[in-house]
């Protein structure tokens, strides 16, 4: 099992550019989620999905879009990158919300200049 695979590991964007962070899992997990990690703060939930075709907003959704067309994939789209989106992004998945531990991807370090 590969677990949760995130790509790319590193990315530098110019302000205003768009990009998609990829997240794929091969564990047949229904619940998938995206977080950002900023210095001095806990992991903050951006968007989550409880199954294919279902997504919802987390604590900090502005500037990000998600979709869930398959159980395996949960891409995160930055529509028009801003310096405030410079962060480390983690994708995580689980069999369900709360009742099982989350498996995290290795993270994407994004810098917006």
Partner 1 sequence: ILNVEQSPQSLHVQEGDSTNFTCSFPSSNFYALHWYRWETAKSPEALFVMTLNGDEKKKGRISATLNTKEGYSYLYIKGSQPEDSATYLCAFMNRDDKIIFGKGTRLHILP
Contacting residues toward partner 1, per CB under 8 A: 33, 35, 40-45, 48, 50, 56, 58-59, 90, 97-107
Phi, psi of 76 (to 5 degrees): -115, 125
Which CB atom, from 29 or from 81, has the smaller least distance to partner 1?
Answer: 29
Shortest Cβ 4–partner 1 spacing (Å): 8
Rounded (5°) CA angle 77-68-17: 10
Which CB atom, from 43 or from 52, has the smaller least distance to partner 1?
Answer: 43
Shortest Cβ 45–partner 1 spacing (Å): 6
Which CB atom, from 106 or from 111, has the smaller least distance to partner 1?
Answer: 106
Q: Is 109 exposed, middle or buried (0-12, 13-18, 19+ CB in 10 A)?
A: middle
Which CB atom, from 18 or from 56, has the smaller least distance to partner 1?
Answer: 56
Shortest Cβ 102–partner 1 spacing (Å): 6
Shortest Cβ 16–partner 1 spacing (Å): 30
Phi, psi of 84 (to 5 degrees): -65, -10
**Residue 37 contacts by C-beta under 8 Å, 6 or more apart in sequence?**
43, 44, 87, 88, 89, 90, 107
């Amino acid at each position: 099992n590969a677990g949760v695979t995130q790509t790319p590991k590193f990315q530098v964007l110019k302000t205003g550019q768009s990009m998609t962070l990829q997240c794929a899992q091969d564990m047949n997990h229904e619940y998938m989620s995206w977080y950002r990690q900023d210095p001095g703060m806990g992991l903050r939930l951006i968007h989550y999905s409880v199954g294919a075709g279902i997504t919802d907003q987390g604590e900090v959704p502005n500037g990000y879009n998600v979709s869930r067309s398959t159980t395996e994939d949960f891409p995160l789209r930055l529509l028009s990158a801003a310096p405030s989106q410079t962060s480390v992004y983690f994708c995580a998945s689980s069999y369900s919300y709360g009742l099982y531990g989350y498996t995290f991807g290795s993270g994407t370090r994004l810098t917006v200049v």
